[in-house]
């Protein structure tokens, strides 16, 4: 499969835990830094890229940042450009992320009419004090209302994003959040443990002792609470951090995990085509300037070796419930140990992490790859 990722680098405010390539109004100014300039530059990149790739997009994912700040009109323009450049394959999955606070029934109706068929909403938590610690600027409960508005507008596929193990969060906070997620009837849930990234405001608070660092034992317990609650009511995990009802899996993300090809458009976006990986310059002004000069805004490239490809295929593929081909990993004592302990399972064709092994997937992968080198 071939996917198209489009990065929208704008946010109304910066959350305390975020280290994504995003910019608030106060961080940008002058010609070429505005939304109109970004959209013009994006049109140019998509046009040039489509002539190089010459493959219709089977998935499109507009992420950020906060794509919903562009409104239905801005997102509709992006999708029109995709159709006119790459083209959309029949039955293409077309997703946009959205911040609940910048959505409305009219917004959802507008993007549905434009051709989007999947929405991913940043919810993080239902607990006000947890959102405050995350410096997440949306009203508790708004995410759930937005999910229902999206469904009312005709979206059958709606995702809610969760963050768990935030400092000050309790098991009860998490249980209430999951309960409210289930009540919305969305068909997809993503849940990620909080990672305190260097350079963020949260990192500085943790470093100064103003906030406790996330606890790994708490992370494991909270993950199991989420898994138990979701799987009890018909969601199934298909990747370690993602659950869906039947037919609700995100095909775009599967491209990443299956080592597929995608073009990343927009400031700072990364691309992967075969053995080549490359990324765009980060700042919107430089991005726009390079495209105005007729140049792809590539900031760097990397050619992957067979060893690199093998490492990434195993690392990403074993996070999927479907696992990987059996012959992708060598028959080592490490492999046999994980099979004997019930953390991996295998048949003649494939190998995969078990329910009890999925939370240990990253460590299992490391041990298998190290064992191959010995």
- Kindly state whether residues 225 and 324 are assigned to the same domain: no
Residue 302 lies in a domain: no
- Kindly state whether residues 75 and 200 are assigned to the same domain: yes
Q: Count structural domains, the chain.
A: 2
Looking at residue 32, its pLDDT comes to 39
8 A C-beta contact, residue 276 and residue 305: no
- Kindly state whether residues 37 and 140 are assigned to the same domain: yes
Residue 273 lies in a domain: no
How far is residue 349 CA from its own chain's centroid? Answer: 29
Residues 28, 32, 38: CA angle, nearest 5 degrees: 90
Q: Is the peptide bond before 65 cis (omega within 30 degrees of 0)?
A: yes
Q: Model-level pTM?
A: 0.95
- Kindly state whether residues 248 and 324 are assigned to the same domain: no
Residue 271 lies in a domain: no
Task: Please tell me whether residue 78 adopts helix, strand or coil conformation.
Answer: helix
- Kindly state whether residues 63 and 174 are assigned to the same domain: yes
How far is residue 185 CA from its own chain's centroid? Answer: 21
- Kindly state whether residues 337 and 231 are assigned to the same domain: no
Looking at residue 334, its pLDDT comes to 97
Selection from 78, 71, 241, 218 nearest residue 159 by Cα: 241
Selection from 163, 160, 119 nearest residue 143 by Cα: 160
Distances (CA, A) of 203 to 18, 234, 299, 329: 10, 37, 27, 37
- Tell me how far apart the alpha carbons of residues 59 and 236 are, in angstroms, rounded to a whole number: 22
- Kindly state whether residues 26 and 124 are assigned to the same domain: yes
Residue at a domain's end among 227, 257, 287: 257
- Kindly state whether residues 111 and 213 are assigned to the same domain: yes
Residue 290 lies in a domain: no
Query: CA dihedral defined by 252, 253, 255, 259, rounded to 10 degrees?
Result: 160
- Tell me how far apart the alpha carbons of residues 9 and 107 are, in angstroms, rounded to a whole number: 19
192 is written with which tokens? 């990620």
- Kindly state whether residues 205 and 340 are assigned to the same domain: no
- pLDDT in tens for each of the 374 residues of the chain? 999 999 999 998 888 888 888 888 777 864 435 889 999 999 999 999 999 999 999 999 999 999 999 999 999 999 999 999 999 999 999 999 999 999 999 999 999 999 999 999 999 999 999 999 998 877 889 999 999 999 999 999 999 999 999 999 999 999 999 999 999 999 999 999 998 899 899 999 999 999 998 889 999 999 999 999 999 999 999 999 999 999 999 999 999 999 999 999 999 999 999 999 999 999 999 999 999 999 999 999 999 999 999 999 999 999 999 999 999 999 999 999 999 999 999 999 999 999 999 999 999 999 999 999 98
Residue at a domain's end among 189, 223, 257: 257
175 is written with which tokens? 């249980």
Residue at a domain's end among 241, 257, 273: 257
- Tell me how far apart the alpha carbons of residues 368 and 353 are, in angstroms, rounded to a whole number: 12
Residue 285 lies in a domain: no
Full residue range of the structural domain in which residue 364 is found: 307-373
- Kindly state whether residues 27 and 97 are assigned to the same domain: yes
- Kindly state whether residues 318 and 202 are assigned to the same domain: no
**What is the Cβ-side half-sphere exposure of residue 104, based on CA atoms within 13 angstroms?**
7
39 is written with which tokens? 């959209």
Residue 301 lies in a domain: no
- Tell me how far apart the alpha carbons of residues 271 and 303 are, in angstroms, rounded to a whole number: 12
Residue 266 lies in a domain: no
| DSSP state string for 233-292 | TT-EEEETTEEE-TT---HHHHHHHTT-EEEEESTT-EEEETTEEEEE-S-HHHHHHHHH
8 A C-beta contact, residue 117 and residue 58: no
- Tell me how far apart the alpha carbons of residues 144 and 100 are, in angstroms, rounded to a whole number: 8
Number of other CB atoms surrounding residue 96 within 10 Å: 24
Backbone angles phi, psi at 214, to 5 degrees: -55, 140
Selection from 10, 271, 16 nearest residue 137 by Cα: 16
Backbone angles phi, psi at 356, to 5 degrees: -75, -20
- CATH code of the domain covering residue 179: 3.20.20.70
Selection from 282, 277, 258, 297 nearest residue 43 by Cα: 297
- Kindly state whether residues 198 and 97 are assigned to the same domain: yes
Residue 141 lies in a domain: yes
């Amino acid at each position: 499969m071939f996917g198209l990722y489009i990065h929208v680098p704008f946010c109304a405010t910066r959350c305390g835990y975020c280290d994504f390539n995003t910019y608030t109004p106060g961080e940008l100014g002058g010609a070429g830094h505005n939304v109109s300039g970004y959209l013009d530059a994006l049109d140019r990149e998509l046009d040039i890229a489509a002539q190089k790739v010459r493959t219709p997009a089977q998935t499109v994912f507009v992420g950020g940042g906060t794509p919903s700040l562009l409104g239905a009109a801005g997102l509709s323009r992006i999708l029109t450009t995709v159709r006119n450049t790459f083209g959309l394959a029949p039955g293409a999955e077309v997703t946009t992320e959205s911040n609940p606070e910048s959505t409305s029934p009219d917004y959802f109706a507008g993007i549905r009419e434009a051709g989007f068929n999947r929405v991913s909403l940043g919810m993080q938590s239902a607990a006000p004090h947890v959102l405050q610690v995350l410096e997440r600027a949306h009203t508790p409960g708004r995410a759930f209302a937005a999910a229902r508005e999206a469904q009312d507008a005709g979206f059958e596929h709606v995702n809610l994003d969760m963050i768990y193990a935030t400092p000050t969060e309790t098991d009860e906070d998490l249980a209430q959040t999951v309960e409210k997620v289930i009540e919305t009837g969305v068909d997809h849930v993503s849940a990620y443990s909080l990672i305190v990234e260097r350079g963020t405001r949260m990192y500085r608070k943790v470093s100064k002792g103003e906030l406790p660092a996330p606890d790994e034992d708490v992370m494991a317990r909270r993950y199991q609470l989420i898994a138990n609650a979701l799987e009890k009511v018909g969601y199934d995990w298909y990747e370690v951090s993602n659950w869906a009802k039947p037919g609700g899996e995100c095909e775009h993300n599967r491209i990443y995990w299956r080592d597929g090809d995608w073009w990343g458009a927009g400031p700072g976006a990364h691309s992967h085509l075969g053995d080549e990986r490359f990324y765009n310059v980060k700042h919107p002004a430089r991005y726009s300037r390079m495209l105005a000069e007729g140049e792809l805004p590539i900031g760097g490239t990397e050619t992957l070796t067979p060893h690199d490809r093998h490492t990434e295929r195993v690392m990403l593929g074993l996070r999927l419930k479907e696992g990987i081909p059996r012959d992708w990993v060598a028959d080592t004592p490490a492999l046999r140990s994980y099979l004997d302990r019930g953390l991996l399972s295998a048949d003649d064709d494939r190998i995969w992490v078990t329910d009890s092994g999925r939370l240990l997937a990253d460590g299992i992968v490391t041990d298998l790859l190290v064992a191959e080198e010995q």
